[in-house]
Structure 1
Amino acid sequence: MNRTSLAARLLALAALALASLLTAAPAHADPADIDAAARGVVRVVVMGRDGEEVFPISHGSGFAVNGETIITNAHVVGPAVDDPRLSIGIVPSDGGESVYGRVISVSPRNDLALVTTTSPMRLPPLTIAGNPPGSAGSVTAIGFPMNVDQAQGLGERDIFRAQPPVTSQGFLSGRRPSREFDTVLHTAPIARGNSGGPLVDDCGRVIGVNSFGAESEGTEAEFFFAVTVRELLPFLRANDITPRINSLPCRSLADLDAEERAREAQRQMVAQMQAEAAEEERAQRRADLRRNIEFAVLDERSNGQALALLLAMVALGGAAFAYDSHRRADFRQRAIGGSVALLAITGALVAWLSRPAFAEVEERLEDQLRAEMSDESSGVIAQASTNGTLACTLDLSRSRVLGAPVESVPLEWEEDGCVNERTQYGLDARGWSRAFVPANEEAVSINRFDPETGEYVIDRYLLDRETMTSARSARASFEAPQCGDGQEAARQLGTAQGEIIALLPDAPNERLVYDCGVTLEGPIELDP
């Protein structure tokens, strides 16, 4: 490969990377993310009582900021705050029983209220966008509009049944402070009953709390207002609530997969270029060695010829001296001259015949190459070991993070698939993995580790209650082996986990990619 070819390949590589960036499509709302956010949205019902009968007076929407605490609008729960005879009901959207709620804080100034459930509901909390878009972008409103209930003919008792919320799409139209608090203007349709529900971005993260709409007549465009997170976050912190916050850009898995394909294509091209460069270097080294060996052989042949000629001349001189001694009848001198002539002619013949043949060039070349390869292979090559305690650092460029990211995770790995001296990973055709099915969270995580590359990947699936029930049942059907039970036990675990994996969607909601490239010393404190 000449320099022109190498430059052409480098240009092609740069063009590929540039094309990958230029053709990357903007993120669009992922239905799986919106569905996951919707499972944390509830109907907030203000109820009256007539004897033993409970009946709804009004309702709005709300969303969980932790398992038992809900954000809604102040005007939604206002009637119950002003009239102690009224109570609040919390109706989940994804199965489960309705429970009573208790107002713990109200802020009429910015139309926010905080309600806690009186019985455990284990609601999946929504993540709040730490750096929400201010003036543009697509958004989704989630809630329980009354006009939809009316169109479906739902009665009073139907309101207390768990039903999926309604989602509507629109666009941001800019920030607009109004009514003495900060709001964001948008076009995602909302109606009475949507109040208190979340306005989310394409990744299902909260960027506002829907509050009210602009009146419109005839064909005028409709706009709606949501309380911004600039109002929401201080309100939560003032009430000792620590929400999940994510300030990273919203990226789709499709974008990440496209980038991975581009990255793999670049890696293969670089590997090919390196292989071709190495082959070119080997060819050049072979040519240099051949030329040096050819020069050495020519020198040896020339030296042999010169020595043979010199000895031949000595032999002629010795023969002439012996002949002259013979004429003079000096037999002693004749013997000396003859011996010198014989030795010299013998040496000349040896020098001539021992000259290296041109065929030796290839033999010497192969011997030299084998010797160099032997020297290289006998050297000590330092390699990173994945055994021991590893510092795994989150690679944000390859990750899709929906919640609050954990940027560093220590991981203690053993060759038999034991993690942190207590968690055995399963082994199958895809490598080492462990499925985690928690009892108190509506999510399943598949953690994978590749000892060869030091790559640790966590795929997190946010699931509905029905799928979670099936996943918990599948997990309860087998007992995970203990560390040290052997590789056969690890393979059995890998097979058993397949039943859980089969229940999961094609793609996770969240993917965390960690690079475990540094070995630590001392004990670890976290268990991934």
Structure 2
Amino acid sequence: MTHTSHVSPRLSHLIATAVGAIVALLLGIVAAPAFADAGDVDAASRGVVRVVLVNQAGEELVPVTHGSGFAVTSNQIVTNAHVIREALQDDTLRIGIVPSEGTGSAFVRPIAVSPRNDLALLEIVGSDLRLPPLTMAGGATAGLGEVSAVGYPMNVDLAQGLEMSDIFTAQPPVKSRGFLSGERPSRQFDTILHTAPIARGNSGGPLLDGCGRVLGVNSFGADSNGSDAEFYFAVSLRELLPFLRDNGIEPRTNALPCRSIEELNAAERARFDAQRAEAQALIDTREEARREARSEARLKAQIEVMEERDDAMAIALILLLIGIGAGYAATQLRAQGRSDQAANSAAQSRAMIAAGAAGAAFIATILIWVSRPGYAEIEDRVAAALDQAEGGTADSDGQPISFAGDGSMICTLAPERSRITGARTDDVEFSWAADGCVNGRTQYGMTGGEWARVFVPNNEAAVSVNTYDPQTRIFRTDRFLLSRADMDAARDARRAYTPPACGVTDGARVLGEQQSGVIAQLPDRPNERLVYTCEASINAGTQKGEEP
């Protein structure tokens, strides 16, 4: 026997829509191109410095030449060995750095120099200047990707009319774009060939991918002889990473694909559309099943009610006939007693018994007739059958089911939904309460139907906006990498309010309004987005440490 399932045209359309959205989502994740994000390059550029060789004559510092460098820790800088070569051979020269922001500068000392692969490591001395370290691109370099070279080319200084003495003033580095042309060994070390223009002074600056991660250290250019296309070379990570590790530095490395926020947003929209179509298809399927179950339950109830009514009416008819018979017998017995005085007493007794039986039969007939199920009973039985089939809202112990998003959560990063350029990606553990209280002490604010908490640290050039959706158990961190001036403004806005503690009446709404001042200063899109999927933790306690 062949069983054929019937699927309505609407359900088929919804299923096709869901499948199409899922395919679009997968294609968007797998095949979407990566583009350079100016915000990420700008953020990475804040860790790029001008490396200056100076001759100190008395109190006066006289710059001799300069190159570029970038921070790999808060107080250590990478540059080319050839940038500081003269200072290594002339004890009258000192090495200084000028950051891209602020008014501070500092002297540095070389702690490792490798002429073989043109790398040098410098360390800040005698200053509390701290720099934002750059992140290394941990994945394999893909050909023909867009890249940015960042540094301080001398020809730009000359075009701007800057004197050598002006290089002690903090200025943003110059950024140029090009494309990767491949990796190849050159001058005894591995290099990256690219087309992002560099000039004298760019040496030691970073070559960045579209997410602002370091691909290499710009070193030299090809001689075009005024006619051929120009190519440039950067010391590759195959040289840089071992050099850093040999000197006790484990740099921040990120091997995840570089995708834009726009790509993530498009993927999330496709994901949402797919989930909505899937949910609608499931609703329609359940509704169809419910209609079928209701139809079956109604047919069954109709049959049961009609059978019970027929049975009741048959019994009532039998009892009625019994009552009539008993009444007739009682009448005859009374007549017999009146005609036969000798048997009067016995006849009267039997007549009373027959009359009682007739009365009982009539009463039972009336009760059965009145209590027989009516046609309204059909709908009641249908509703009861559906309720029993669908179950209630309590657990096996009869206790109400708690909301899925409450309790102790442990959240794991979803790389396919995230954009990470340098942030840590550790698991997040916290305890969530229905009123937006985290770990019993950190209140989240409610704005536009979303739970959020803004964090403005004093020791990091980034503002984080954490959000949590108890319904989907999605925890998200949007990180905005800001300039020094923008961070100062964000810190001022944060110091202007004191967040309400957990348990304060209307605390979620109040905090939502308070945080709006900081959020209003943030760019339209974050530099990083970390998306975590959460599930109930088996641990009763919460992790102590940094709040989520």
**Cα drift, residue 30 of structure 1:** 0.8
Question: Paired residue for 1:3?
Answer: 7
CA contact (8 A) 2:80 2:203 kept: yes
Instruction: Give the direction of change, closer, same or farther, for the CA distance of 1:370–1:150 in structure 2 (3 Å limit).
Output: same
Question: Paired residue for 1:478?
Answer: 497
Distance 1:320 1:493 in 2: 89
Partner of residue 22 from structure 1, selected from 6, 23, 27: 27
Instruction: Give the direction of change, closer, same or farther, for the CA distance of 1:213–1:238 in structure 2 (3 Å limit).
Output: same
Instruction: Give the direction of change, closer, same or farther, for the CA distance of 1:10–1:415 in structure 2 (3 Å limit).
Output: closer
Distance 1:308 1:38 in 2: 97
Partner of 1:125, secondary structure, is coil
**Cα drift, residue 363 of structure 1:** 4.6
Please tell me whether residue 505 in structure 1 is matched to residue 523 in structure 2: yes
Distance 1:202 1:396 in 2: 17
Distance 1:437 1:384 in 2: 31
Distance 2:106 2:532 in 1: 40
Distance 2:488 2:368 in 1: 93
Please tell me whether residue 198 in structure 1 is matched to residue 206 in structure 2: yes
Question: Paired residue for 2:293?
Answer: 285
Q: Structure 2 matches for 1:3-402, cutoff 5 A?
A: 3-5=7-9, 6-22=11-27, 25-118=32-125, 119-307=127-315, 310=318, 346=362, 350=366, 353-354=369-370, 356=372, 359-365=375-381, 368=384, 372=388, 376-377=392-393, 379-380=398-399, 382-383=401-402, 386-402=405-421
CA contact (8 A) 2:298 2:382 kept: no
Question: Paired residue for 1:468?
Answer: 487
**Cα drift, residue 476 of structure 1:** 2.5
The normalised TM-score by structure 1 is: 0.88
Distance 2:361 2:470 in 1: 71
Partner of 1:376, secondary structure, is coil
**Cα drift, residue 353 of structure 1:** 4.7
CA contact (8 A) 1:315 1:340 kept: no
Name the aligned partner's letter for residue 529 of structure 2: R
Name the aligned partner's letter for residue 179 of structure 2: F
Name the aligned partner's letter for residue 392 of structure 2: E
CA contact (8 A) 2:68 2:203 kept: yes
Partner of 1:35, secondary structure, is helix
Partner of residue 465 from structure 2, selected from 446, 450, 460: 446
Question: Paired residue for 1:515?
Answer: 533
**Cα drift, residue 361 of structure 1:** 4.6
**Cα drift, residue 13 of structure 1:** 0.9
Partner of residue 410 from structure 1, selected from 429, 439, 450: 429
**Cα drift, residue 347 of structure 1:** 7.9
Please tell me whether residue 457 in structure 1 is matched to residue 476 in structure 2: yes
Instruction: Give the direction of change, closer, same or farther, for the CA distance of 1:36–1:95 in structure 2 (3 Å limit).
Output: same
**Cα drift, residue 282 of structure 1:** 2.4
Partner of 2:84, secondary structure, is helix
CA contact (8 A) 1:252 1:400 kept: yes
**Cα drift, residue 258 of structure 1:** 1.0
The normalised TM-score by structure 2 is: 0.85
Instruction: Give the direction of change, closer, same or farther, for the CA distance of 1:121–1:319 in structure 2 (3 Å limit).
Output: closer
Instruction: Give the direction of change, closer, same or farther, for the CA distance of 1:352–1:20 in structure 2 (3 Å limit).
Output: same
Which 10-residue stretch deviates more, 408-417 or 356-365? 356-365
Instruction: Give the direction of change, closer, same or farther, for the CA distance of 1:361–1:185 in structure 2 (3 Å limit).
Output: same
Which 10-residue stretch deviates more, 331-340 or 164-173? 331-340
Partner of 2:244, secondary structure, is helix
CA contact (8 A) 2:79 2:205 kept: yes
CA contact (8 A) 2:442 2:502 kept: no
What do the CA deviations read for 1:479-509 (whole angstroms, capped 9, x no partner)? 344x456134554443332222221111111
Instruction: Give the direction of change, closer, same or farther, for the CA distance of 1:286–1:480 in structure 2 (3 Å limit).
Output: closer
Instruction: Give the direction of change, closer, same or farther, for the CA distance of 1:517–1:9 in structure 2 (3 Å limit).
Output: same
Distance 2:319 2:178 in 1: 104
Distance 1:285 1:260 in 2: 36
Instruction: Give the direction of change, closer, same or farther, for the CA distance of 1:517–1:77 in structure 2 (3 Å limit).
Output: same
Partner of 2:234, secondary structure, is strand
Distance 2:286 2:204 in 1: 64
Which 10-residue stretch deviates more, 395-404 or 49-58? 49-58
**Cα drift, residue 419 of structure 1:** 3.5
What do the CA deviations read for 1:317-370 (whole angstroms, capped 9, x no partner)? 77998999989x899599699869967994897499558576335453366358
**Cα drift, residue 511 of structure 1:** 1.4
Which 10-residue stretch deviates more, 394-403 or 380-389? 380-389
Distance 2:513 2:447 in 1: 7
Which 10-residue stretch deviates more, 209-218 or 397-406? 397-406
**Cα drift, residue 236 of structure 1:** 0.7
Instruction: Give the direction of change, closer, same or farther, for the CA distance of 1:314–1:509 in structure 2 (3 Å limit).
Output: same
Distance 1:423 1:202 in 2: 36
Identity across the alignment (%): 48
Question: Paired residue for 1:495?
Answer: 513
Distance 1:430 1:346 in 2: 68
Task: Please tell me the root mean square deviation across aligned C-alpha atoms, in Å.
Answer: 3.4
What do the CA deviations read for 1:284-334 (whole angstroms, capped 9, x no partner)? 22212211111112212332454456567768877998999989x899599
Partner of 1:177, secondary structure, is strand
What do the CA deviations read for 1:185-223 (whole angstroms, capped 9, x no partner)? 111111111111101110000011111111112431111
Instruction: Give the direction of change, closer, same or farther, for the CA distance of 1:337–1:474 in structure 2 (3 Å limit).
Output: closer
